[in-house]
């Protein structure tokens, strides 16, 4: 059997044509390199190097083994690099978070990272659709998303790979001093008098409701940033459609949520875990699942 360490010493002795240079490159003694070459010659029962005072020349057999050793070195380096990349990829727990829930969910991730400091984490915030698509392509180990069924409808049914986090609701809202706040009753035509700050995905459903009553939807801006919407609401008479828990408690101050069933939509936010064991970080997922089991109730009572 040809051991890799002997082959390595022979390769560099042949490449540099010097036992001394090979020993220096491999960070071993000259006798160690000479011994490796001698063991190979005894194993193969052929001479490999002809040693002179100032150099080491390859025999015909040595030239053949050198070509083999050269291929072996290149392939060894390639497989080491491949395994290193695989180890780095497998080792990191990749978490995707619906960016609208960044403020609500960051404390949970931060606490996990403090408790499980040996687990590397790759964190990405993006629109919910992008996060879900990435999860389907195995780009994430865990995602924090709105729970949808296969027909893309908000669902309360939890799959076995999902952990319930909290419920949320899309609602119509305005500044606390808005005229509609003090109104005992208001109709869709009353609402239609004001401009809307609205998420792009909600424009068409709201527009259809207005058109069904022969009313026009006045869109001031489309945006998916709760903090910006809340800041704009407080200094205008606009109305907005917001998911209540995308806002921090500070951002919710000065915002009033109107009781308008026609605009409300309830849904569940979940942590969804990749189940395929040959992707991502199985250990990281296991630890994060256990972490949620132990801390979800504390999280719900303090952060939401």
What pLDDT, on the 0 to 100 scale, is given for residue 82? Answer: 72
Which residues 6+ apart lie within 8 Å of 174 measured at CB?
A: 180, 181, 194, 233, 237, 238, 239, 240, 255, 256, 258
Q: Which helix (H) or strand (E) holds 62?
A: helix 60-91
Identical fold for domains 4-89 and 93-166+268-303, yes or no, is no
Torsion angle (degrees, nearest 10) of CA 5, 6, 9, 10: -150
pLDDT > 70 in the chain, percent: 91
Is the predicted pLDDT of residue 114 greater than 70, yes or no?
yes
Query: What is the pLDDT of the chain when averaged over all its residues?
Result: 86
Q: Copy the structure tokens of residue 257.
A: 């949520």
Which residues 6+ apart lie within 8 Å of 171 measured at CB?
A: 241, 242, 243, 244, 257, 258, 260, 263, 264
Local structure of 118: helix, strand or coil: coil
What pLDDT, on the 0 to 100 scale, is given for residue 150? Answer: 57
E strands present in the chain: 49-51, 56-58, 92-98, 120-126, 142-146, 162-175, 196-198, 219-222, 239-243, 255-257, 265-273
> Are the C-beta atoms of residues 142 and 135 closer than 8 Å to each other?
no
Mean pLDDT over 218-224 rounds to 88
Is the predicted pLDDT of residue 151 greater than 60, yes or no?
no
At 300, the pLDDT band (50, 70, 90 cuts) reads: low
pLDDT tens sequence across 160-189: 899 998 888 889 999 999 999 988 888 999
At 3, the pLDDT band (50, 70, 90 cuts) reads: confident
Mean pLDDT over 125-142 rounds to 90
What pLDDT, on the 0 to 100 scale, is given for residue 175? Answer: 94
Is the predicted pLDDT of residue 217 greater than 70, yes or no?
yes
pLDDT tens sequence across 12-65: 888 888 888 988 988 889 899 889 889 988 989 999 888 776 777 888 998 998
E strands present in 127-192: 142-146, 162-175
Domain 4-89 has CATH 1.10.10.10: yes
> Are the C-beta atoms of residues 145 and 272 closer than 8 Å to each other?
yes
Question: What CATH class is the domain 93-166+268-303?
Answer: alpha beta
CA count, 13 A, side-chain hemisphere, 60: 0
Task: Please give the DSSP secondary-structure letter assigned to residue 122.
Answer: E
Q: What residue segments make up the domains of the chain, in order of their start? A: 4-89, 93-166+268-303, 168-266
Beta-carbon neighbour count of residue 16 at 10 Å? 16
What pLDDT, on the 0 to 100 scale, is given for residue 301? Answer: 61
CATH assignment of 168-266?
3.40.190.10
At 96, the pLDDT band (50, 70, 90 cuts) reads: very high
What pLDDT, on the 0 to 100 scale, is given for residue 118? Answer: 84
Residue of 199, 200, 197, 192 whose CA lies nearest to 216: 192
Mean pLDDT over 299-303 rounds to 61
Mean pLDDT over 215-237 rounds to 88
> Are the C-beta atoms of residues 135 and 272 closer than 8 Å to each other?
yes
């Amino acid at each position: 059997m040809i051991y890799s360490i002997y082959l390595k010493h022979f390769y560099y002795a042949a490449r540099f044509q010097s036992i001394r240079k090979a020993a220096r490159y491999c960070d071993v003694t000259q006798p160690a390199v000479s011994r490796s070459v001698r063991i190979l010659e005894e194993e193969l029962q052929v001479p490999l190097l002809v040693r002179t005072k100032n150099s080491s020349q390859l025999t015909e057999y040595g030239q053949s083994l050198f070509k083999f050793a050269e291929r072996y070195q290149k392939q060894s380096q390639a497989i080491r690099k491949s395994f290193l990349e695989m180890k780095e990829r497998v080792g990191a727990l990749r978490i995707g978070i619906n960016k609208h829930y960044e403020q609500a969910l960051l404390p949970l991730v931060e606490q996990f990272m403090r408790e499980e400091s040996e687990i590397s984490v790759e964190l990405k915030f993006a629109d919910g659709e992008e996060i879900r698509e990435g999860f389907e392509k195995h780009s994430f180990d865990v995602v924090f998303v709105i729970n949808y069924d296969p027909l893309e409808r908000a669902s309360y049914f939890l799959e076995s790979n999902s952990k319930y986090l909290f419920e949320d609701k899309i609602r119509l809202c305005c500044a606390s001093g808005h005229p509609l706040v003090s109104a005992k009753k208001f109709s869709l035509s009353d609402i239609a008098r004001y401009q809307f700050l609205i998420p792009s995905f909600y424009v068409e459903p709201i527009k259809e409701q207005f058109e069904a009553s022969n009313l026009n939807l006045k869109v001031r801006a489309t945006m998916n940033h709760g903090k910006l919407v809340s800041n704009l609401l407080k200094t205008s008479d606009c109305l907005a459609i917001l998911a209540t828990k995308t806002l921090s408690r500070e951002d919710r101050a000065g915002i009033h949520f109107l009781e308008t069933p026609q605009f409300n939509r309830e849904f569940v936010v979940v942590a969804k875990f990749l189940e395929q064991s040959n992707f991502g970080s199985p250990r990281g997922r296991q630890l994060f699942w256990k972490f949620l089991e132990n801390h979800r109730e504390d999280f719900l009572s303090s952060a939401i």
